[in-house]
Amino acid sequence: DIQLTQSPSFLSASVGDRVTFTCRASQGISSFLAWYQQKPGKAPRLLIYAASTLQSGVPSRFSGSGSGTQFTLTISSLQPEDFATYYCQQVNTYPNTFGQGTQLEIK
């Protein structure tokens, strides 16, 4: 199975900050990577697919990049509603594994 490692596991930041999360795959997955946001008690929400394509309705402050084994999710200017946990998922090979998540907290 393909392993995804997210870093950092926890991040404290302030409203207005620019933050970047990293997701590293144990083997190449081309651009078959998705990013999700999850708030407590809620279902995940698709933010980015194909590594860099913004899902409809997602604010443009979210962006994704990368291919192969290294990927990043960037939030250009944090808003209060962005504090949540973020997961990457590879959709290149079954099982479609998730990273362990990055919890973004308010500083």
Partner 1 sequence: EVQLVESEGGLIQPGGSLRLSCAASGFSVSGHSMSWVRQAPGKGLEWVSVILYSGDTTYYTDSVKGRFTLSRDISKNTLYLQMNSLRAEDTAVYYCARVLVIGNFYYGMDVWGQGTTVTVSS
Q: Which residues bind partner 1 (CB under 8 A)?
A: 1, 32, 34, 36, 38, 43-46, 49-50, 53, 55, 87, 89, 91, 94-101
Count CA atoms within 13 Å of residue 65 on its CB side: 5
- Of 17 and 55, the one with the shorter C-beta distance to partner 1 is 55
Instruction: Compute CA distances 70 → 8, 20, 39, 43, 83, whole Å.
Output: 14, 13, 25, 26, 23
Q: How far is the CB of 95 from partner 1 (least distance, A)?
A: 4
Residue with tokens 């929400």: 45
- Of 26 and 77, the one with the shorter C-beta distance to partner 1 is 26
